[in-house]
Structure 1
């Protein structure tokens, strides 16, 4: 039985069981198996009426919703290939993806989205709005079609942190392999229960890891509560009261630094206990704690951290973090709250996952062990290579790019610089992000940016530049004064060798975001775009005296 057959079997076996729950502020709207199956039937009927054939591509342009889920399952079970598109991305960027995919139809959530993509993309295809799709009479539903193992179920375009996005082709076999692995790992973490888990989700379904979480929960089966308004995430989270959710490091870092800033503004004993308790916890975890540490930790938990725990989420049992490595400090901070964070590492090309944390062997700062059936190899240059049934079928209509990515022995070259110790992986950074200043040293920016943010909590984002330059410079965003950045840079420079010292910095007025094109939807920095946007200011830094 394929993963898709299993999902529909769950929907149909108990049609009154909740499958998807939309969170609207303080209200939750539940869609049971019958409702999702009906949405899928109506969509299949629409596709048939529109002349879509099995094997065609169908774009899906919408925010997360029960309708998104119904349309997604319908396109798959119709025998077509889903091209999921991020609804907040620039339509001109989406048009580049569509020119490569050449879909037969595009299903858009709203008229506004439909008009925007129609204006940007001049390809011949029908663009339909959800209201019209779901108004279709299900009587013309042709029914579900069986999918071959090598059928491309989705073409997911890479986030494009640099260069032109490539369409990653993922097959039914990829997800047939992966979903049982995620189900097994979740079962080990959550343990046996008498009622469904409360699982919240806010990351866009158009990306591989988010899609994997959706299909995993539908396959188990367990209801998934989904955000409907990212600007109202705090209220939605309170309404959902989740036991766990999938997130990205940027969100967890923001929570930690936001709480820390408020505690330090308050000052006094609470602020001192906050910092002392965290250091005591870290010494305890490392086996270096003494009597005083245990006393301080106990006191800080009673006075400070229990209250923070209630604010962060009293029902939270654990978190899953992916997309990028999470800092050791932030993983420890949530551990001190009693909310362990389990990391997952993977790329779109690996069906979202390569390694997963083992709850019994979690090491903060590392992203876990290879899932069963997946091989890892680290080259002399420190690049991680991956081989296994989770590897994608190739980049859509880009055979040369596919050959560059997967060598003749079947190893996928991830482009990630890593350290592998006892099978537990640590991500150092992207090889293509290496900065080589005039000194000739190879410098991975990610660990240094993380170190700086620890020294400057008010800094929302930090980006190192300096490739081919005399020294490193730093771009900083956030509500932080230049004097505070200068002080943090001075402390930073005391801890690093000469070639890693920051000699210049610039505090920017605008944060990097997906809306201004400087962050991906998963909160990853678009380094080339950032350097291009601020090229003049960066050049000016090297013509003036900066931080020493």
Structure 2
């Protein structure tokens, strides 16, 4: 029985259970198991009308919704290799990946997305949701899948910046869903079916997909954000017990709380500041008795109120995709809201390590999940092997071979494993930047746009790994106002996570002499970041 069969069985068993609930501000729009099964059946009919056969690559281009979920399951049921893509990504980049995948069909949420694809690829084989869900219903069981069969191809920038399609097999998925099911049962203290789960990250990314799939697998519903600009109201409406986060959101929550505290009266500000100081001292084992008493009182009063404002029903938060500041993780724990970190890549079926319930250590990303091995290779690069490792990059045998070393997958991350076996991620081995949004960003294409689009600029380095946004160090002779105007124009053609939000102009060029270029005139990125450390900190102040 494949994981897709399990999805079908769970929908049939629970026709009145809301499996996907769209959160529209204060309103909930529920799609129950029976209705979701109907949507899937109609979508399967439309796929057959377009002669989709097992192994065909079908692109899914849409924001999160109940129909996204139905389309995904229908494609899986027909034996297609689902290729989910980010609806907000630049259309020329999307089309490049669609063509690389050899897409037999591109399913778009609406005509606007369809027209955007057609503008870059006139012959694209597209269909919208309206037509997808108007097909003749198919009531057959899902097509069989062997463990080695590829079920989805997710494109990632990887370590070189070149888009590569990561092939994930049915066996990878089954292993990971069983792993997540066990961990969530341990975390919640009960089997699935009653968890209140909220999700705001795009389903097209590996980690998000497994939040969705694991809930379907556990006979559980998931509540889906429909407006990222309205998350506070959506969370208030959803009242979840847990949800997956990227560090950027947790940092914003913490900053928002501290801004509100700063606007309170003097007694509240003094209590908060003193309690935070006591907490920091307590973490270093040097808090005095009065500090410990103050901290205990603050936990019952001010910190309990803060937690209630974030989410009264929340029992924990889960965080992944990028480094989370150690103090931020500890701050949430201070509120009585543990943050459990998850580390993984698309190539590892989303997960390598996870924090264990009630055993999280701030700054660390947990232990290797059962059945997965990890060790450190050259340059402290983290190497991984196990049933979670992908089968290869679509159409790129050489890249697949380069990704492995003696049967171990090379993650491209520098790591450290402590004496208890917990993993610490130190940084990227190569140049890919992973800002707090969790996106993989290759700096070189953006740097080239800066060199071409900003008059007078002769060198450019993009900064932003583990940061809230991207910034740049520029050298050359150009007025700041003119550079700012040019960068604004460049940003208009880039997705939000690749935009330059601030920059530093340096009159001193990078050179071999000052140690900022190699002998063959290539950028020494770490040296540049160290040289301009103060300027960079000001860009994020």
TM-score bracket for this pair, using the shorter chain length: 0.7 to 0.9
Residues 161-188 of structure 1, C-alpha deviations (whole Å, 9 max, x = no match): 8622111010101011111101111111
Question: What residue is the counterpart of 2:494 in the other structure?
Answer: 517
Contact 2:44–2:135 (Cα < 8 Å) also in 1: no
Counterpart selection for 1:204 from 198, 202, 205:
202
Question: Offset of 1:143 from its aligned partner?
Answer: 4.7
* SS of residue paired to 2:379: coil
Instruction: State how far apart, in whole Å, the 1-side matches of 2:464 and 2:26 are.
Output: 41
Question: What residue is the counterpart of 1:334 in the other structure?
Answer: 332
Question: What residue is the counterpart of 1:128 in the other structure?
Answer: 127
1:7-86 to structure 2, matched below 5 A, reads: 7-86=7-86
Instruction: State how far apart, in whole Å, the 1-side matches of 2:3 and 2:172 are.
Output: 10
Question: What residue is the counterpart of 1:412 in the other structure?
Answer: 409
Instruction: State how far apart, in whole Å, the 2-side matches of 1:78 and 1:202 are.
Output: 27
Contact 1:44–1:143 (Cα < 8 Å) also in 2: no
Residues 478, 412 of structure 1: CA spacing in aligned structure 2 closer, same or farther, 3 A cutoff? closer
Question: Offset of 1:210 from its aligned partner?
Answer: 0.4
Contact 1:518–1:530 (Cα < 8 Å) also in 2: no
Question: Offset of 1:67 from its aligned partner?
Answer: 0.4
Residues 105, 336 of structure 1: CA spacing in aligned structure 2 closer, same or farther, 3 A cutoff? same
Contact 2:304–2:336 (Cα < 8 Å) also in 1: no
* SS of residue paired to 2:430: helix
1:8-407 to structure 2, matched below 5 A, reads: 8-122=8-122, 124-138=123-137, 143-159=141-157, 163-192=161-190, 196-266=194-264, 268-407=266-405
Q: Over aligned residue pairs, what C-alpha RMSD do you find?
A: 3.3
Instruction: State how far apart, in whole Å, the 1-side matches of 2:307 and 2:20 are.
Output: 27
Instruction: State how far apart, in whole Å, the 1-side matches of 2:434 and 2:73 are.
Output: 40
Instruction: State how far apart, in whole Å, the 2-side matches of 1:335 and 1:427 are.
Output: 20
Instruction: State how far apart, in whole Å, the 2-side matches of 1:475 and 1:142 are.
Output: 47
Calculate the TM-score normalised by the size of structure 1.
0.80
Calculate the TM-score normalised by the size of structure 2.
0.81
Question: Offset of 1:276 from its aligned partner?
Answer: 2.4
Instruction: State how far apart, in whole Å, the 2-side matches of 1:290 and 1:472 are.
Output: 45
Contact 1:39–1:134 (Cα < 8 Å) also in 2: yes
Contact 2:248–2:468 (Cα < 8 Å) also in 1: no
Contact 2:165–2:394 (Cα < 8 Å) also in 1: yes
Question: What residue is the counterpart of 1:427 in the other structure?
Answer: 425
Instruction: State how far apart, in whole Å, the 1-side matches of 2:82 and 2:99 are.
Output: 15
Question: Offset of 1:52 from its aligned partner?
Answer: 1.4
* SS of residue paired to 2:340: strand
* SS of residue paired to 1:21: strand
Question: What residue is the counterpart of 1:458 in the other structure?
Answer: none
Contact 1:416–1:431 (Cα < 8 Å) also in 2: yes
Residues 393-430 of structure 1, C-alpha deviations (whole Å, 9 max, x = no match): 111111111111112x2111111111110210011111
* SS of residue paired to 1:197: coil
Instruction: State how far apart, in whole Å, the 2-side matches of 1:232 and 1:241 are.
Output: 14
Question: What residue is the counterpart of 1:460 in the other structure?
Answer: none
1:418-497 to structure 2, matched below 5 A, reads: 418-421=415-418, 422-433=420-431
Question: Offset of 1:325 from its aligned partner?
Answer: 2.1
Instruction: State how far apart, in whole Å, the 2-side matches of 1:248 and 1:2 are.
Output: 30
Contact 1:325–1:366 (Cα < 8 Å) also in 2: no
* SS of residue paired to 2:82: strand
Residues 159, 304 of structure 1: CA spacing in aligned structure 2 closer, same or farther, 3 A cutoff? farther
Instruction: State how far apart, in whole Å, the 1-side matches of 2:192 and 2:170 are.
Output: 32
Instruction: State how far apart, in whole Å, the 2-side matches of 1:193 and 1:78 are.
Output: 29
Residues 348-406 of structure 1, C-alpha deviations (whole Å, 9 max, x = no match): 00000000001242111100000011110112411100011101111111111111111
Residues 364, 545 of structure 1: CA spacing in aligned structure 2 closer, same or farther, 3 A cutoff? closer
Instruction: State how far apart, in whole Å, the 2-side matches of 1:476 and 1:185 are.
Output: 27
Paired residues in the alignment total: 476
Residues 193, 155 of structure 1: CA spacing in aligned structure 2 closer, same or farther, 3 A cutoff? closer
Stretch moving more, 277-286 or 314-323: 277-286
Instruction: State how far apart, in whole Å, the 1-side matches of 2:158 and 2:100 are.
Output: 14
Structure 1, unmatched stretches of 5+, are: 435-443, 448-468, 480-506, 521-525
* SS of residue paired to 2:183: helix
Question: Offset of 1:77 from its aligned partner?
Answer: 0.7
* SS of residue paired to 2:494: coil
Instruction: State how far apart, in whole Å, the 1-side matches of 2:155 and 2:297 are.
Output: 49
Question: Offset of 1:149 from its aligned partner?
Answer: 1.2
Contact 1:60–1:83 (Cα < 8 Å) also in 2: yes
Instruction: State how far apart, in whole Å, the 2-side matches of 1:157 and 1:171 are.
Output: 15
* SS of residue paired to 1:100: helix
Instruction: State how far apart, in whole Å, the 1-side matches of 2:491 and 2:188 are.
Output: 33
Contact 2:20–2:66 (Cα < 8 Å) also in 1: yes
